[in-house]
Amino acid sequence: MTATAILDATPAARERVRIAITGTVQGVGFRPFVWRKATALGLAGSVANTAAGVLVEAEGSPAAVASLLRSLREDAPPNARIARCDVAREPPTGAAGFVIAESVASGARRGAILPDLATCPECLAEIADPASRRYRYPFTNCTHCGPRYSIVRDMPYDRARTSMAVFPMCADCRAEYDNPADRRFHAEAIACPACGPRLALWDAAGRTIAAADDALLAAGAALRDGRVVAVKGIGGFHLMVDARNPAAVARLRRRKHRPDKPLAVMFPSLEALAPYANVDPAEAALLSGRERPIVLLRQGRRALADAVAPGGALIGAMLPYSPLHHLLLGDVGFPVVATSGNLSDEPIVTDEADALVRLGEIADCYLVHDRPIVRPLDDSVVRVIAGTPTVFRRARGYAPAPVEAGLTPGILALGGHLKAAVALTTESGAVVSQHLGDLDTPQGRDAYHAAVADLTRLYRTEPRAVVRDLHPDYYSSRVAAAHSAPVISVQHHVAHVAAVMAEHDLVAPLLGIAWDGTGDGGDGTIWGGEFIRITPSGWERVAHLLPFRLPGGEAAVREPRRSALGLLRATFGDAAFAMDDLAPVAGFTAAERRTIAAMIARGVGAPVTTSAGRLFDGVAALVGLSQRATYEAQAASALETAADACAADVVPYPFPVTADAPMMLDWRPAIRSLVTDVRTARPVSEVAAAFHGGLARAIVEVASRAGEATVVLAGGCFQNARLAAESERLLEAAGRRVFRAHLVPPNDGGLSLGQAWWAAKMECV
Ligand code: ZN
Ligand code: ZN
Ligand code: FE
């Protein structure tokens, strides 16, 4: 026996410890868990929520104290995540009994706020049980499930600081809330039909036409009749219609001004989804997990109304995630379109009075309730790429879970302009806000300012530095100057790469491949097909796509045929404008072609770009898939879908890499081959596959010349599963370690995290 062991074995009558726990430990049943353990072990003391997390004082035999400490690590509730657990010895006080003490509201705000959680199996069983007092009650929840971030007004997480504060508990709920042995012990959102929120169905004018369960039944009947029902859920309103009814779907599209973009669909169950989509095990797990995002799936053998996901596009599928959705979908028994309650590109509507105004032209009736939604939270969107989930839109279920990046607290990163999200570094990690939408509308800008105020208040963190994109015209960039803290600008594609570095805790040197639509290069050109070496002291552009002039600049986003003309002009010179056997050329009149030729020749209204997104657009137009687009990445998605239909083993198009510094990836030989193939009517699927395959090989070629062992794939283009998976596979075969975005979007929704990382690690804020 060693001396230490002998010392440890010495029986001490009593021992007292003070345990400070940080991480995701509030709102997950952590205090009752500690109470049950401590009581069972015969310990005295207390457990309390603090602004930083949870504080435990425990006193008793050393063996019991040791057992409690072990339990904290090994048996914590399923939704808890302990970041730190600091234990300090204190002199015993001789106190008796173990209590759950009042919250301590002072101090730095470090307690992680939990995302909203999908309904748990126990609560589902209760709402289905006619003998339960919560039978068919749409706001049933417990410590394992239910609303969190959508109802929190302030920390620490207590009912008084949530939007449930306006519902005084009834005696039955109070008894459950106070009983440490109950699943609803200190469930802050606890509710029942006697005391909690209530449903109402409003007609188009906002008059109540049914209440409580009758409202639910009437909403189901309206859906069955093909009507558009606005439904207030967890983080905002959905607009719902019968997804099998073509006329109803078309009506919703017309009213919402959304002609083509696929609409999300909520299915009653996984079984009900099966005929409509191909679901692999990773996708099934994601669909039924506690985050319950929209999962992008390939279409199956049975079709929904064609207007739901036109042209064989991916289906955005989700399963019910609140009791309200479970009951409604269970009643109707068919899939319903469940798209965000907003007008295109505006933030989601959260308030029922606002809904009457903003959704007035769209909805036939409104299924509403009286629990206020504290902040807008769209449904998150996820796609499984090469077996791993990749979050495209990060909101309900994911935000505001911190990303572990170990960054200095107090950095506020402002993100980009589209798919905006802000990030704040805190003691609990970097917190990235929920998706806030585009910053072109007054509503979008209001939501953006609210999110900045929200984060700094919830985490009691005054920014010490503010980080923005280089682009001077982004709304977020203009906002930066209004802060008193010093401002740091980070190049767009560098931020894309840094976001992946933050998520995976990577260190320089490495090669970042950032491909997207548009980003300010800082040299007067538009970047978007970039290979960036991150070094311990900075970054270097080691390669990029061959630049071309983009006639019309931003107009090309809506018109892929403009990108095609830019590519053709760069490949064939002015002869391009006479190639009117090609769809994008034929689409312009002779006069328009002359104008475009002059714009490119003079370099007026035709900026220089290296954008990979525009390369994809142009190719989609050349093969005849898409001349005009009504939503982002429409053309590129069509090209990917086409490539996936290719069963043949095709020879990839050539994309030679020049030896200059920076290297250039020359796509002109590929465009020449492609034009020949289009003229000889080669199947579009083969052309699309040869294009993807060629780019993936060019990526490997650049990576091998750059020589870094670690490669990061970043930017919106890597939402293309074919490009991402093929590049990753070939890079790994060539001996590289490859990292992609998983929990934070690869698109501009991840910029703020990358900006924060850059400021903390490279600018030494
Ligand atoms: Zn539950
Ligand atoms: Zn009650
Ligand atoms: Fe971008």
Distance 335 CA to ligand 1 centre (A): 24
Residues whose beta carbons lie less than 5 angstroms from ion ligand 1: 120, 123, 142, 144-145
- What value does the mean pLDDT take over residues 288-307? 91
Selected residue with higher pLDDT from 539 and 299:
539
Res. 238: pLDDT tops 70? yes
- What value does the mean pLDDT take over residues 425-432? 91
Peptide bond into 509 cis (omega under 30): yes
Looking at the CA of 715, name the nearest ligand: 3
Looking at the CA of 527, name the nearest ligand: 3
Distance 212 CA to ligand 2 centre (A): 15
Distance 678 CA to ligand 1 centre (A): 57
H or E stretch including 315? Answer: strand 315-318
Distance 98 CA to ligand 2 centre (A): 27
Res. 29: pLDDT tops 90? no
pLDDT tens-digit map of 637-673: 999 999 999 998 999 999 999 998 999 999 999 999 9
Residue 763 confidence class, pLDDT cut points 50, 70, 90: confident
Distance 150 CA to ligand 2 centre (A): 20
Lowest mean pLDDT among 11-20, 177-186, 469-478, 546-555: 11-20
What are the structural domains, with CATH classification, of the chain? 3-100 (3.30.70.100), 199-369 (3.90.870.40), 543-740 (3.30.420.40)
3-state secondary structure 739-763: EECCCCCCCHHHHHHHHHHHHHHCC
Distance 123 CA to ligand 3 centre (A): 41
Res. 71: pLDDT tops 80? yes
Looking at the CA of 193, name the nearest ligand: 2
Taking the CA of residue 239 as centre, how many other CA atoms within 13 Å lie in the half-sphere pointing to its CB? 29
Looking at the CA of 515, name the nearest ligand: 3
- What value does the mean pLDDT take over residues 594-617? 97
Distance 738 CA to ligand 2 centre (A): 52
Res. 155: pLDDT tops 90? no
Q: What is the pLDDT of residue 79?
A: 82
Distance 471 CA to ligand 2 centre (A): 52
3-state secondary structure 443-490: HHHHHHHHHHHHHHHHCCCCCCEEEEECCCCCHHHHHHCCCCCCEEEE
- What value does the mean pLDDT take over residues 592-600? 97
Residues whose beta carbons lie less than 5 angstroms from ion ligand 3: 516, 519, 748
Looking at the CA of 167, name the nearest ligand: 2
Distance 664 CA to ligand 3 centre (A): 20
Enumerate the β-bridge partners of residue 44.
59
Q: Say whether 383 sits in a helix, a strand or coil.
A: strand
Q: What is the pLDDT of residue 104?
A: 66
Residue 2 confidence class, pLDDT cut points 50, 70, 90: very low
Residue 111 confidence class, pLDDT cut points 50, 70, 90: low
Strand pairing report for 54-60 and 98-100: unpaired
Looking at the CA of 137, name the nearest ligand: 2
Residue 5 confidence class, pLDDT cut points 50, 70, 90: very low
Res. 750: pLDDT tops 90? yes
pLDDT tens-digit map of 204-234: 999 999 999 999 999 999 999 999 999 999 9
H or E stretch including 124? Answer: helix 121-127
Looking at the CA of 29, name the nearest ligand: 1
Q: What is the pLDDT of residue 24?
A: 82
The DSSP 8-state label assigned to residue 334 in this structure reads S
pLDDT tens-digit map of 191-202: 999 999 999 999
What whole-number distance in Å separates Cα of residue 592 and Cα of residue 597?
Answer: 9
Is the pTM higher than 0.85? The answer reads yes
Distance 425 CA to ligand 3 centre (A): 21
Q: What is the pLDDT of residue 344?
A: 73
Q: Say whether 68 sits in a helix, a strand or coil.
A: helix
Please say whether the dihedral angle defined by the alpha carbons of residues 124, 129, 130 and 134, taken in this order, is positive or negative: negative
Quote the percentage of the chain above a pLDDT of 70. 97
Looking at the CA of 187, name the nearest ligand: 1
